[in-house]
Structure 1
C-alpha cells in the first residue's frame, strides 16, 4: 500500500533470469546470495520486459553470477497505474526511476544485504523512455553502493525543442480525448509501431502492438506528454558511472542533439557508442538490417565489460573459479 501511494502504480511486475546448472538447481534466494551483480532491464514507451528477448539469458549464461531482473515500468505491461490517466508527475522520467528504487526497498534488494562477503553491484539498463529516466536517478543513499547505468537511445529532449513540442502536443491531445474515441487510438497503432520499432524484430514489434492495445490511452498519452514537457537538464557532478549507446539513424532520438547534450554534460568519448541502426539498433530479426545483429553482440560484449569493471575484486577471482567449475555443462 505504501508503494502504491508513493508511485501511483497498482502493481509492479518483474521476472528474474539467472543461470541454472543442469544438475545443481538453485533457488532465487541462493542465486541472489551468490551474485556478484544485479542487472535491471527497463523498456521504453509502450514496451514491456519482453522487448529484451534473449539478451538477459545470454548474459546470465556468460556470467553465472549475474541475476537479471526484467521490469515492467511506468504503467505498461503488468505494472499499471491506479488511475486510467496518471498525473504527469507520476509518469515522468524521474518518477519512473524513483518507482524502481521504491521497489528495490520493498523487496529488500537495496540497500545491499550484509550477508554478502562482497557487495554486489547494480547495473541499470534502460531503453528510450527508461534510458532517459536513468539520468534523473536520485543517488541519495547510494554513496556506499557499487552501481552503473547503461542508457540505450535515451529519450532525452532537453535541448530538442522540436521533439519536445511534438511529444507535448501529442500527449495533450491524447489525454483530452474521451474514452469513446478509442477507434482513433487503434487506428494510430500501426503507424506508431512502425516508427518506434523500425528495424526491430517481429517479436519486439508485436509486443509493442500488444502493449499499446491493452494500455489505457490516458497512460499512453500522459507518458508522451511527460517526456515532452521535461525540459530540465539532468544535474549530476559525476557522470563516470554512465555508458550510452545510440543509433545513427534513430527517428525518435536525434543523434546530433543527443551527442551535443552529452558533450554539455561532460561525457567523454569512451562513454558513448554510436551504432549503425535505428531506435531498436540492438534488436535483430528477419527484416532487421545486418548491422543490428552485430550491434547486439557488441552490446552484450560491452555490458560484460561494464560488469567486470563494476565487480568487486574478490568476486572477480571467484568468477573465474565458478565459470571453470561449470564449464562443461553450459546451457
Structure 2
C-alpha cells in the first residue's frame, strides 16, 4: 500500500511534466545505454499534453509554425511509459543544446548522449530553433528582429517556461544548462538574468557568432545573406548559388565530420531561402550591445582556426565586456571544434571531451551555488 501511495504521490508531483509521455518517437540513443524521444509542440497541443492556448501563444509571439526537440537520457534498461515522467523529472537539471545557422538538433551527433552517460542525473535536450529543422517561421521571409540572436534567446526562454522544466517550490534544486554553437552561442549572451535565480542557469558558448566588433565578418555575412534572399526571387541567378553554397558550407563546417557537413547541406536545401538569408543578415547587422554582464556561470570556448568567427575580434569583444579570462578557453580547432572530422581527429576528439567535462563542471558549480550560496573572499 505504501509503495502504491509513494508512486501515486510522485506521479502527481510531476504532473506538470505530462508532455513527456506525448513523444512522437522513442528509440535507443546515439551511444549505448542511452535512450531518446522526439517531440513536436503541434502534436502535444493536439493530444492535450500541452495546453493549446498556451502553446499557440508561444508560437504566435515568436512567429513560429512549430517547435521540435529531442530528449536524451541514460538508461540501463528501457523505462516503461508510466514511469517516464518520474525518470525524466526527478533529476538535477537539463542541458539545452542550441545549434547554429542552417543546423538542426542532429548536428550535435553523440554529444548530448555522452553528457547524459557521464551524469545520469542530467537530461539532454537538443532543440530545433530560429527557423531551422522542424522549427520553421510562419513567414518565409521573417523580420530581422524576429530571427536575430536576442530574439532566438527570448523564444527559447518562452518555450522552456511552457515545458515547466525549472525548479518549482518544494522541488530539489535544478540547473538549466544552455549550450550554444555559432548562432546558438551568440544567443546565449542575451539571456535575461533577471528571470533566473542565482545558480539556476549556466551558459556554454562554443564558437559564438557574436560579431559586434568583427566588421569584416559582419559585412561578409550581411552581403551573403542579402544575396541568398535575392536568389529566391531571381531564378536566372541560381547558378551563382551553386558557387556560393559549397564555399559557405566549407567555412561553416570546417573540421566537422562528413555527417555534419551533409546535414548542413541538406538543411540549406530544404529551408526557405528567405529564412536562410534573413538569419544570416540578422547576425551580420546585429548592433545590440545591451548584454547583461553576469559571467559567474558562463564559459566560452573558441577554435584557433575558426574562419566564421574571428579569434582576435572575439577576444576584443570579450575583453570589452569584462568577460573573465578564466572563463575563456581557446583550443586547436575550427568552427566545429567539437565534431570529429577525418583531418582533425586528434585535436577535435580531445576538444569534444573538454566540452563534456566543462559543461559537467559548470553544472556542478551552479548546483553548489544553489545549495550553499556564493563564497566571497
1:14 to 37, 45, 69: 69
Q: Distance in 1 between matches of 2:302 and 2:319?
A: 14
Q: Partner of 2:357: helix, strand, or coil?
A: helix
Q: Distance in 1 between matches of 2:366 and 2:98?
A: 19
Q: Partner of 1:209: helix, strand, or coil?
A: helix
Q: CA deviation at 1:289?
A: 4.3
Q: Note if contact 2:184-2:208 (Cα within 8 Å) is conserved in structure 1.
A: yes
Q: How does 1:1-331 map to 2 (within 5 A)?
A: 1-22=56-77, 27-110=83-166, 112-114=167-169, 116=171, 118-143=172-197, 146-179=200-233, 181=235, 182=238, 184-312=240-368
Q: Distance in 2 between matches of 1:98 and 1:186?
A: 34
Q: Note if contact 1:94-1:133 (Cα within 8 Å) is conserved in structure 2.
A: yes
Q: Note if contact 1:91-1:226 (Cα within 8 Å) is conserved in structure 2.
A: yes
Pairwise CA RMSD: 2.1
Quick check: which has more Rg, 1 or 2? Answer: 2
Gaps of 5+ in 1: 317-331
Q: Distance in 1 between matches of 2:359 and 2:258?
A: 24
Do the aligned partners of residues 186 and 73 (structure 1) sit closer, same or farther apart at CA in structure 2, a change above 3 Å counting?
Answer: farther
Q: Distance in 1 between matches of 2:80 and 2:369?
A: 26
Do the aligned partners of residues 184 and 80 (structure 1) sit closer, same or farther apart at CA in structure 2, a change above 3 Å counting?
Answer: farther
Q: CA deviation at 1:232?
A: 2.4
Q: CA deviation at 1:81?
A: 0.5
Provide the TM-score with structure 1 as the length reference: 0.89
Q: CA deviation at 1:315?
A: 8.7
Provide the TM-score with structure 2 as the length reference: 0.79
Q: Distance in 2 between matches of 1:40 and 1:64?
A: 15
Q: Distance in 1 between matches of 2:293 and 2:78?
A: 48
Q: CA deviation at 1:186?
A: 4.5
Gaps of 5+ in 2: 1-55, 373-377
- Tell me how many residue pairs correspond in the alignment: 314
Q: CA deviation at 1:178?
A: 3.7
Q: Partner of 2:202: helix, strand, or coil?
A: strand
